[in-house]
Amino acid sequence: MCIGIAPPPKAPWPHPLIAREGWPFLAISFLSSLAVTSLAGWVWALPLWVIAVFVLQFFRDPPRHAPIGVDLVLSPADGRIVAVEEVDDPWLKRRALKISVFMNVFNVHSNRAPVDGVVKGRWYNPGKFVNADLAKASTENERNALWFQTEDGRDVTCVQVAGLIARRILCYVEAGAVLQRGERYGFIRFGSRVDVYLPLDARPRVALGDKVKASSNVLAQL
C-alpha cells in the first residue's frame, strides 16, 4: 500500500504555534526576564532568559499533517519508541500490541488522536511519578486512558502517562467525543510517555529506538 502525506488541509481544530497550556508560564518567565534586565542588566538576567527560551521551546505546538492511508495508527506524541510488545491491556482486559512513545523535555508535548473514532471511555488513575522511560511507569504512574473505537469496530487504547518531572496530565475530551486522526486532545507538562494498545493482529511500523512525531509518523496498521 502506498502511503503519502496529505496536502495541508483546513483543520477543523485550532493549531496554535504555542500551546495555550504554556501561556501563563511564558508570561511569567518573559516578564521576569524583562524586569531583571531593566533593573540589573543582562548579566543578572541571563539565567532567566535561558529559562524563558526553554519554556518557549517546551510549549511549542506546530501544525502537523497526517499521512494518507487506510487503517493507519498515527503516533499520538513526539518522542522515542521504548516498547513494541504483546501485553495485557489493563483497560479493555485483552491481550494487545503495546507501542510506547517516551517524550523528553525537548519534545513537543501536545497529544493527538491516533485514529479516527469515537471515544467510548475515559479512565483516570492517580499514581507515582517514576521515570517514564521505565516499563513500570505504564502501571505505576499517574495516567489517563482513552478508549477509541474506529468505524469498523476496532479498539485502540491511548494512555497518557506522567513522568519523573511531569506533574500535570491534561485531557480535553470525554466519552462520546468523535475525533479525527491528528486532532489535538491533550497535553502533558515536562516529560512523559504515551502508551498505545492495539489489536494483536495490528502490524507495527516502528521499532525500538525510532523517533516519531505526533500525527506525522505511523506506529502501526490495523
Please give the order of strands across the beta sheet that includes 211-212: 178-179, 117-125, 143-149, 155-162, 192-198, 94-103, 79-89, 211-212
How far is C-alpha 210 from the chain's CA centre? Answer: 16
Q: pLDDT-derived band of residue 163, with 50, 70 and 90 as boundaries?
A: low
> Residue 42, exposed/middle/buried by CB under 10 A (0-12, 13-18, 19+)?
exposed
Could you identify the residue written with the cell 519534545?
Answer: 107
Nearest to 134 by CA among 172, 100, 88: 100
Q: What is the pLDDT of residue 108?
A: 84
Nearest to 141 by CA among 131, 151, 149, 150: 131
Residues of the chain above pLDDT 90, percent: 43
pLDDT (mean) for 94-123: 92
Q: Catalytic residue positions? A: 192
Instruction: Say whether pTM exceeds 0.95.
Output: no
pLDDT (mean) for 41-70: 84
CATH H superfamily, domain 67-221: Glucose Permease (Domain IIA) (2.70.70.10)
Checking if the pLDDT of 7 tops 50, the result is no
> Which of the two residues, 141 and 116, has the higher pLDDT score?
116
Nearest to 194 by CA among 82, 87, 58, 119: 82
Domain ranges of the chain: 20-58, 67-221
For all residues of the chain together, what is the average pLDDT?
Answer: 83
Checking if the pLDDT of 2 tops 50, the result is no
**pLDDT digit string, tens, across residues 184-194:** 898 887 668 89
Q: What H or E segment, with its residue span, contains residue 35?
A: helix 23-40
The amino acid present at 154, given as its one-letter code, is: R
> Residue 97, exposed/middle/buried by CB under 10 A (0-12, 13-18, 19+)?
buried
Checking if the pLDDT of 6 tops 50, the result is no
Q: What is the pLDDT of residue 170?
A: 86
Grid cell locating 86: 504483546
Q: How many residues does the chain have?
A: 222
* CB 74, CB 219: distance < 8 Å: yes
> Residue 142, exposed/middle/buried by CB under 10 A (0-12, 13-18, 19+)?
buried
**pLDDT digit string, tens, across residues 9-27:** 444 445 567 777 778 888 8
Residues of the chain above pLDDT 70, percent: 83
Separation CA 152–CA 155 (nearest Å):
9
> Which of the two residues, 20 and 86, has the higher pLDDT score?
86
Nearest to 44 by CA among 53, 32, 54, 28: 32
Q: What is the pLDDT of residue 78?
A: 93
How far is C-alpha 54 from the chain's CA centre? Answer: 19
Query: What distance separates the 2 farthest-apart alpha carbons in the chain?
Result: 63
Phi, psi of 64 (to 5 degrees): -130, 145
Q: What is the pLDDT of residue 12?
A: 46
